[in-house]
Amino acid sequence: MCGIVGYIGTQAATEILLSGLEKLEYRGYDSAGIATIWEGEVNCVRAKGKLYNLRSKLEQVETPAQIGIGHTRWATHGKPEEYNAHPHMDADLRIAVVVNGIIENYSELREELKQKGYQFRSETDVEVIPHLIAEFLKHSPSSAITPGVAPFGSIAFSPSPLLEAVRQAVHKLRGAFAIAIICADYPDELIVVRQQAPIVIGFGQGEFFCASDTPAIISHTRAVLPLDNGELARLTPLGVEVYNSAGERLKKQPRLLNLNPTMVEKQGFKHFMLKEIYEQPGVVRACLDAYFNADWSAGDSTNSPVKLGLPGEIYTDLEQIQIVACGTSWHAAIVGKYLLEQLAGIPTQVHYASEFRYAPTPLTANTLTIGVTQSGETADTLAALAMEKERRQDKDTKYKARLLGITNRPESTLGHMVPHIINTLAGIEIGVAATKTFIAQLMAFYALALDLAYLRQAISQTKLQEIINGLRQIPGEIEATLESQEKSIEQLAHNFAETKDFIFLGRGINYPIALEGALKLKEISYIHAEGYPAGEMKHGPIALLDAKVPVVAIAMPGSVYEKVISNAQEAKARDSRLIGVTPFHHGEAAEIFNDFIPVSKVDELLSPILTVIPLQLLAYHIAALRGLDVDQPRNLAKSVTVE
């Protein structure tokens, strides 16, 4: 997955493209490149590694060009080297192309093109595209370039030969992708294509943009039009034309984004991740306001305490829930399973979307399928949901697909794919490691589980009221944890700058938090870390323990507190340094734990929203002390739009 940006207008394009790419670097940062058109030529500059390498190269070759495309890459096909960096160009260096996505049938297209005499300069799947466009342009009847016989039996008919050549080239491609194209022979056109990978068009005053994500263009315009699958757009200095895959012009209007440029700035924090950790109390408040009915109190059996606005068809005769997700969203889903089962009494299964795609569970009746994805663009999650939709299509009502999405980006592909969404209201998250979007996903699950619990009368209204009251205290508790613990967690982190392995233990509803703590540490500090259900450690992982392997144990009051303490004892007996995330620093806990990260005493059911905070901070400070790029860890990208 990569980031694309494009500009056509009256300003110098290079800086606009570079600053757009800066906002998209979270999508990949193996290499970057831009191509502009100036004095009848395409100027293409590419550099391996992060954007600053490209920026310094461009200082020598900057032009006043007013049209251009840019790309930041997360390598899929071909090493992260300059020769594989985008833009890719045709043989005559007239056409430049940037792509986000994968071309599945690139091998056969490459062979076909090689037989026609095309030579390839990269190892990528996407280099076939400029050659295909060149081939179609060459044979286009209305082209400025020599006309000839249509190469693949096609007829050009569009008002723009370039648009038509792109359209025909795209018909040859299989896969999920978004593309932006410029051509020196059509210096007033920027063509954009969407096929299952996100791309938005931005409308300015006499200038137009395209980008994989809105932060790239938000400082120029808030009027955007996300393209739908199969659509192409032709951007000229005069306006934007949108076409369907048959080449027919469509009527489309931009809409105004509710986003402002400061949301995508660090605002004094050293890293986006730290800023986003600190935004979490606000995120929980926003979710409380949006999801819960402020006027509700126990005894009110006419209104639900929850106002998710989901239609009855989602809930009627519901027997089962299955959730598909990846990474951190998968961890939120496991907390969700716990809540849906314990509060609402509905059997719930959680699947890695990437596994579910190829080994789906047998169809069950009256089943709600939930896709959880903060970006709404994760290819595996989308494919799992698409498969579920398709395999239930011809079935009777009991087996029909009921789909729900939980996402932070309702305008994403997921938003178009499923009929109902819970919007997680965390605001744009830039740090590659998810923090505030995780908390917001947890809030969505609390709301869903409590709504179902109320409707099914699975718990008493008094209990319901108690949980909601507890939830309302959470923003303050998170603030207290941030305020009182950040400095001491930073101090504690000094002890682990050289540590090679970490173990995280949790049980019950805090088991997924142990997984999340381990994932955060792995992602940004590159320290090997594993999360385990505390009781499972003795069945094997305990062999890993010695004085060099610290163990973080989440020991919150409730049904499993004593059990976690006993499991922590087992680790202590193997000389591990024990760090307790717990409200208790006396009694047995004081004897076991070498270090404490105190958190408030809250209802066990609510504790995950609190216990994850110190684990995020611990991962952050260890990574920051190691001098690592916290916001853009190696090999990762924010949204994984490839399989």
Residues engaged in binding ligand AGP (CB under 6 A): 326-329, 373-375, 378, 381, 432-434, 523, 636, 639-640
d(CA 138, CA 284): 57
Least spacing, CB of residue 622 vs ligand AGP, in Å = 15
Q: Report which DSSP code applies to 228.
A: P
Identity of the residue, 226 or 327, whose beta carbon is nearer to ligand AGP in the bound complex: 327
Identity of the residue, 113 or 379, whose beta carbon is nearer to ligand AGP in the bound complex: 379
> In DSSP terms, which residues pair with 173 in a beta bridge?
none
Least spacing, CB of residue 557 vs ligand AGP, in Å = 28
- Determine which one of 48, 275, 522, 638 is catalytic: 638
Least spacing, CB of residue 384 vs ligand AGP, in Å = 11
Q: Is residue 17 a contact partner of residue 69, using CB atoms and an 8 Å limit?
A: yes
Least spacing, CB of residue 28 vs ligand AGP, in Å = 12
d(CA 64, CA 75): 30
Structure tokens at 498: 């050289």
Beta strands in 83-227 (DSSP E): 88-89, 95-103, 175-183, 190-195, 200-203, 208-211, 223-226
- The per-residue b/e assignment along 296-329, b for 16 or more CB within 10 angstroms, e otherwise, is beeeeeeebbbbbebeeebbeebebbbbbbbbbb
Least spacing, CB of residue 259 vs ligand AGP, in Å = 18
Report residue 476 CA to chain centroid gap: 28
Identity of the residue, 367 or 374, whose beta carbon is nearer to ligand AGP in the bound complex: 374
Q: Is residue 124 a contact partner of residue 88, using CB atoms and an 8 Å limit?
A: yes
Report residue 564 CA to chain centroid gap: 33
d(CA 514, CA 611): 9
Least spacing, CB of residue 634 vs ligand AGP, in Å = 13
367-372, strands of its sheet edge to edge: 348-352, 320-325, 367-372, 402-407, 420-423
d(CA 494, CA 465): 42
CB proximity list for 399: less than 8 A, separation 6 or greater: 363, 364, 365, 367, 392
Identity of the residue, 74 or 584, whose beta carbon is nearer to ligand AGP in the bound complex: 74
Is 638 among the residues known to form the active site?
yes
Single-letter code of the amino acid located at 86: H
Identity of the residue, 113 or 383, whose beta carbon is nearer to ligand AGP in the bound complex: 383
Structure tokens at 144: 């400025």
Identity of the residue, 102 or 242, whose beta carbon is nearer to ligand AGP in the bound complex: 102
Classify 270 in phi/psi space as left (phi over 0), alpha (psi -120 to 50) or beta. alpha
Identity of the residue, 143 or 632, whose beta carbon is nearer to ligand AGP in the bound complex: 632
d(CA 523, CA 622): 11
- Determine which one of 2, 44, 210, 326 is catalytic: 2
CB proximity list for 56: less than 8 A, separation 6 or greater: 47
d(CA 505, CA 615): 12
Least spacing, CB of residue 448 vs ligand AGP, in Å = 17
Identity of the residue, 458 or 640, whose beta carbon is nearer to ligand AGP in the bound complex: 640
Is 326 among the residues known to form the active site?
no
Nearest residue to ligand AGP on Cβ basis: 327
Q: Is residue 508 a contact partner of residue 566, using CB atoms and an 8 Å limit?
A: no
Q: Which residues are catalytic?
A: 2, 638
